[in-house]
Amino acid sequence: QVQLVESGGGLVQAGGSLRLSCAVSGYTFSSYRMGWFRQAPGKEREFVSAISRAGGIVRYADSVKGRFTISRDNSKNTVYLQMNSLKPEDTSVYLCAATGRVSDPTTQEYEYWGQGTQVTVSS
């Protein structure tokens, strides 16, 4: 049974930082490309960042480039999202996802999804 469990969300002031984690079980973690997405109330889910299987290739949405850093530790079956210089508009539920097949990691066609962790940035 595949499970993705996010943690690390919370309430932070604008300009602050948070580090999200996504622990994965139930499949060979290193065989899957990982992504982070977010969804704010009343808005569509949007791509945030993605990382290749070995971690050598990363992608970011323009809105987070230069502020967020994605990484993974295949020995711990975990992917991370370091979020710095947070803004109120970053407030969302953040979800991690895994894919073994899509070629464009910015799409939403991932096979597995976590339940999400809430990030709230106050002004």
Tens-digit pLDDT profile for residues 73-91? 999 999 999 999 999 999 9
88: three-class secondary structure by DSSP: helix
Q: What is the mean pLDDT of the chain?
A: 96
Phi and psi for 29 in degrees, rounded to 5? -55, -45
What is the CB neighbour count within 10 angstroms for residue 79?
A: 30
**Predicted confidence (pLDDT) per residue in 103-118, tens digit:** 888 899 999 999 999 9
Strands 33-39 and 78-83: unpaired
Residue 114, by phi and psi: left (phi above 0), alpha (psi -120 to 50) or beta? Answer: beta
Q: How far apart are CA 123 and CA 13, in angstroms?
A: 6
